[in-house]
Amino acid sequence: MTARGPSASEPLLDAPPFLDEPSGRPIAAAARRPVSIEVDRLTRTFGDRIADDEVSFSVVEGETYGLLGPNGAGKTTLIRMLTTLLPPTSGSARIRGHDVVRDRPAVRRSIGTVSQAVTTDENLTVEENLSVQGKMYGLFGRGLSRMIDRRLAQVGLSERRKQITRELSGGMRRRLEIARGVLHSPHVLFLDEPTSGLDPQSRRAIWEMLGQLKADDAGLAIILTTHAMDEADFLCDRVAILDQGRILCEDSPAALKRSLETGERTQIETARALSEADADAIAALGARSWRGLAANAAEFQSRPGEDVGRRAARLLEDRGHRIVHLTIASVTLEDVFFSYTGRGLRAE
């Protein structure tokens, strides 16, 4: 695990750190993919306040990179710098080799954005919104019509193309925003909290749609900011946790979860009372923070991935207990998030 991404002096085609550890995703080929986004010690201050403090990371083609952090962590400022909407105070960033300060037109041609704000005009139809956006990117005529058809099909809005946008549900409107963001086939897509405020069904629909979008555009690199840890876990190949403008950790979700010392929670209930010897035997397996809930029930934590909960249940059965109830709660990305942001805040 790394606290920083590769610096500008490192080769562009170096594999990102997540590739060293299997994350369960088919990413081995990514090692040979060129870098889409390269951020090197990017800093932005507003007066005395440091919004982003020497942030560095890189994202390769086809990778989805999540930026997690509490409100005010510097995520939106970082996105704004990368999308040419805010000049950095220091440091540099390149999108497909184009500097975000010196070569803004080329950067703008390469990127698509789906911001937190609703940027579609509610008075226009779905198709008109896409038509206006397409022209802003230089698309016109049959080419534009073809891309509108394609994107509407991808986001499942083909049947709604003539509908006035204000009549769409929140989920459909977000899907339209995404279609608008990728209409011109960008190389890099910035998604700033794309499912914020949506119901679980709409969120799931957008996740699946993004998955389909990536399957269709294999080279598309995505930077995603979100507060939803399950979303980052589902969508991202790698995530970085930001707090107070700094990247506290960066890796694949699976690797981050494995990196915690504790976090997997087990509750176990037996037919007869548990003894101190039972507790010691389970502790020897790696259980920590043992807490008796009743004479015949206890709760403990363990390191993720070591399967201490199941091994403890088998051990108790070997020692003559009958297991009445066993609950094992896996560590989540939220545990990782709280773990890192908590430390960061205490360190301040």
Partner 1 sequence: MTVSGAPRPARGPALAFLGIAAICQRAYLTLWRQPILIISTMLFPLVYLLVLGNSLNRQLRHVPLAVVDEAANAESAACRRGVMALETGRELVDATFLEDREEALRGLRRGAYRGVWILPFRLSAKGPGPAFVGDNTDRFSFDALDGALRQVWDEVASGASPSAPPADSARLEAYPYLDYLTYLGPAVVCLSIFMGSMVSGGLQVLEDRMYGYHEGYLVTPISTGALVMGNVLAGAIVASLAGLLVLGAVLMLTPVIVAGSREVAAAVATVFLTSLAISAVWFLLFARARSVSVLRGMFGIINALLFFPSGALYPVESYPPWLQAISRADPLTYGLNALRNLLLRGSSPQTVFPEWIFLLTFALVCGILTRVLFRREI
Residue numbers at the binding site for partner 1 (CB under 8 A)? 80, 83-87, 105, 108-109, 111, 113, 115-121, 123-124, 128, 131-140, 142-144, 146-147, 150, 164, 180, 184-187, 216-220
Identify which of residues 189 and 240 has a Cβ nearer to partner 1 in the complex: 189
Give me the least distance between CB of 329 and partner 1, in Å please: 39
Closest approach of Cβ 332 to partner 1, in Å?
32
Residues 213 and 140: their CA atoms lie apart, in Å, by: 22
Cβ 154 to partner 1 shortest distance, Å? 10
**CB-CB contact of 2 with 187 (8 Å):** no
C-alpha to C-alpha distance for 201 and 203, rounded to whole angstroms? 5
The owner of tokens 């890796």 is: 251
CB of 198 to partner 1, least distance (A): 17
| Closer residue to partner 1 in complex, CB, 49/166 | 166
Nearer of residues 143 and 342 to partner 1, judged by Cβ: 143
In the bound state with partner 1, the residue whose beta carbon lies nearer, of 134 and 309, is 134
- Sort 69 into a burial class: Cβ within 10 Å, 0-12 / 13-18 / 19+: buried
Q: Report the nearest approach of partner 1 to the CB of residue 338 (Å).
A: 31
Dump strand ranges (E) for the chain. Answer: 35-46, 49-60, 64-68, 90-95, 98-99, 111-114, 188-192, 221-226, 238-243, 246-251, 264-270, 288-294, 297-302, 323-329
**Comparison of 87 and 342: residue with beta carbon closer to partner 1:** 87
